[in-house]
Amino acid sequence: MRCVLAGVDGSTEAATAALWAAGEAALRGAPLRLVAVVAGGDNSQARDIVRDAGEWCRREHREIDVAEEVVRGFPPAELVRESVDAQLVVVGSRGRGAVAETLLGSVSRAVAERASCPAVVVPRCRTSFALGPVVLGVADPPLGAAAVAFAFAEAALRSTSLLAVHVWRPVAGRHSRIEAETRATRSAVDDVRSGLAVDLAGWTTKYPDVQPGLDVRYGEPAGELCRAASSAQLLVLGHRGTVFGFGSVAHGVLHRADCPVVIVGETHHGEDVVFFDERRRADEGQDRQDADSAP
């Protein structure tokens, strides 16, 4: 069985993410793999960090197998590479050093955007999370299969409900309240609601125990999604054409969400992971070539 992978670096955020990952491994009956990445030099501190994280996870979840490893390289690239063999990769929202000065660390951003499996960003300084629904952020129908499939599977796994949230974005240059009251807007929202309801209903055949709810809101997407997920176990977003695309909405949610956020790409379908990794390797090769040719 593929592991749950967590990156650790000695920060409180990474430790919180590792413990959350341990809970996910227990839930799935999967092994947990903890990885610390060092750029070079002495790796004794990294060994201590990953060992301490492993002991903490074993103490809280004695039933899981925990592997600890220190690898050399650039942390974002190495965690993305290691994600090829994982069913889930988990990182904290921020890391140590200069990364900790930003609201969203460079490692968490890179992993969320480029991982070969669903990537979870766990918010900082949280050791427990609500036992509420799984929330799925959705754009216009038709829905992207990977993110929706993941959300339904997670709701079934957790024996909880699924709430799909669509946010109707204000049109630039128009007064939002006036626009919201127009007949044309109400009609368009009704059309979107109907289309989404039909798409979601199709998934209940595979997941009969999950009855999805639908919440159509009006406003700024990232803020509304975070409010809708304030008591959620997970907030699931897609990217690369699945739901929102990895743009301003995804970044806004990752900055502000109070629950773990899962980024699911359309490539997260079994054999498609291989294709994604080949594309990633090609991109990295091009990056190295560009660097070598730079003056």
The pLDDT tens digits of the residues spanning 223-279 come to: 999 999 999 999 999 886 434 445 788 889 998 999 999 999 876 543 333 333 343
* 200 to 43, 63, 140, 150, 252: CA distances (angstroms): 48, 35, 12, 13, 25
Q: pLDDT grade, residue 280 (50/70/90)?
A: very low
pTM, two decimals, is: 0.82
Average pLDDT, integer, range 38-56: 92
Last residue of a domain, one of 75, 96, 125: 125
- Overall domain count for the chain: 2
Residues 76 and 147 in one domain: no
Domain holding 160: CATH number? 3.40.50.620
Domain of 149, in residue numbers: 134-272
Residue 281 domain-assigned (yes or no): no
Residues 195 and 252 in one domain: yes
Each residue's pLDDT tens digit, 103-151: 357 788 889 989 999 999 999 755 566 789 999 998 766 677 899 999 9
Residues 93 and 66 in one domain: yes
Say yes or no to pLDDT of 97 above 50. no
Residues 266 and 143 in one domain: yes
Q: Are 101 and 93 in contact (CB under 8 A)?
A: no
Backbone dihedral angles phi then psi of residue 241, each to the nearest 5 degrees: 90, 0
How far apart are the C-alpha atoms of 33 and 44, rounded to whole Å? 18
How far apart are the C-alpha atoms of 112 and 93, rounded to whole Å? 10
Q: Write the burial class of residue 171 (CB in 10 Å: 0-12 exposed, 13-18 middle, 19+ buried).
A: exposed
